Amino acid sequence: MAAQIGFSGADATLVATSISEVARNILEYAVRGEIILRPEQNGSVPGISVIARDEGPGIPDIHLAMQDGYTTGRGLGLGLPGARRLMDELQIESSVGVGTTVTMRKWVR
């Protein structure tokens, strides 16, 4: 989809890597989840939106979770902060005991 939207091979790889990072979080922490990809438009600039939604334990401290090296599991603590660096936009909504939604966007350069 990223290639069809007009991303370079390098930027399509960044999108795929970001998806992999949030997917790993869903697999490790959540009971259920999904990832939705859709084309976006920012004025005349095309892009892609990635929505990763889960029914996991939620993130009690989003600020802490966005710090490099912080982890509650077996990872290196680079998932969410890494995805933030690879994408142009990243937003997190989370409720403890309910789940988390991570919305990421990248724009064609």
The domain locations on the chain are 2-107
Residue with tokens 């790993």: 24
pLDDT in tens, 43-72: 999 999 999 999 999 999 888 888 876 666
pTM of the model: 0.89
DSSP string, the chain: -HHHHT--HHHHHHHHHHHHHHHHHHHHH-SSEEEEEEEEEETTEEEEEEEEEE-SS--S-HHHHTSTT--SSSS-S-HHHHHHHHSSEEEEEEETTTEEEEEEEEE--
Q: Indicate the pLDDT class of residue 28, thresholds 50, 70 and 90.
A: confident
Q: Any idea which architecture 2-107 has in CATH?
A: 2-Layer Sandwich (3.30)
